[in-house]
Amino acid sequence: MTFFRFSFLFFVTEILNNLMTIETRIKQKKFKSNAEKAIVNIAYTQSYFSSKVNTVLKTHNISSQQFNVLRIIKGQHPKPVSIGDITTRMIDKMSNTSRLIHRLEKKDLVQRVNNPFDGRQINVFLTLRGTQILEKLNVLVDNVVNDHSHLSEEELIELNRLLDKIRIE
């Protein structure tokens, strides 16, 4: 009987935790405005998902920035990608792309090759090992995404529309 009571309480606690508002999560009673609340909520949620994704990436000793680089390169395959192109596509614009490429090269995940048409430009390719590791990482990250698939397709479309709209660039 105690096991079932514990299981039920655990289940109810999990439901309540998933329904906690931003006010409850950060222990703040109110915000100056709904705009401030939204920005804090976005920052909190970004930190939440970064933590989840970073946890699975650590299993292969890859940072989120390195994962982003690998995905950018894979997205251009079989065409080469210049370091400059990678930089403009990075999610974290503060990343040092050259340093990230160097670290990935040391791990034998990417290869740098001089551009035969422009000696100033360096092209980057995924190695076979890089492709294999990226495939494993994509499965792990997909699992994180699937664990959070409680929004409907319509809600996700609306969320993406609002997130695109809020950025002033």
- Per the structure, the count of domains in the chain is 1
- 29 belongs to a structural domain: no
The whole-number average pLDDT for the span 10-16 is 53
**What is the pLDDT confidence band of residue 6, given thresholds at 50, 70 and 90?**
low
- 3 belongs to a structural domain: no
- 113 belongs to a structural domain: yes
Domain that holds residue 168: 56-169
- The pLDDT tens digits of the residues spanning 48-57 come to 999 999 999 9
Mean pLDDT of the chain: 86
CATH number at residue 137: 1.10.10.10
Residue 106 in this model has a pLDDT that exceeds 60 = yes
Residue 3 in this model has a pLDDT that exceeds 70 = no
- 145 belongs to a structural domain: yes
Task: Report CA-CA distances (Å) from 75 to 50, 64, 115, 162.
Answer: 21, 16, 19, 26
- 96 belongs to a structural domain: yes
Position with higher pLDDT, 38 vs 114: 38
**What is the pLDDT confidence band of residue 14, given thresholds at 50, 70 and 90?**
low
Q: Is the pTM of this model over 0.85?
A: no
- 89 belongs to a structural domain: yes
- 48 belongs to a structural domain: no
Task: Report CA-CA distances (Å) from 159 to 35, 41, 52, 65, 165.
Answer: 15, 13, 20, 24, 10
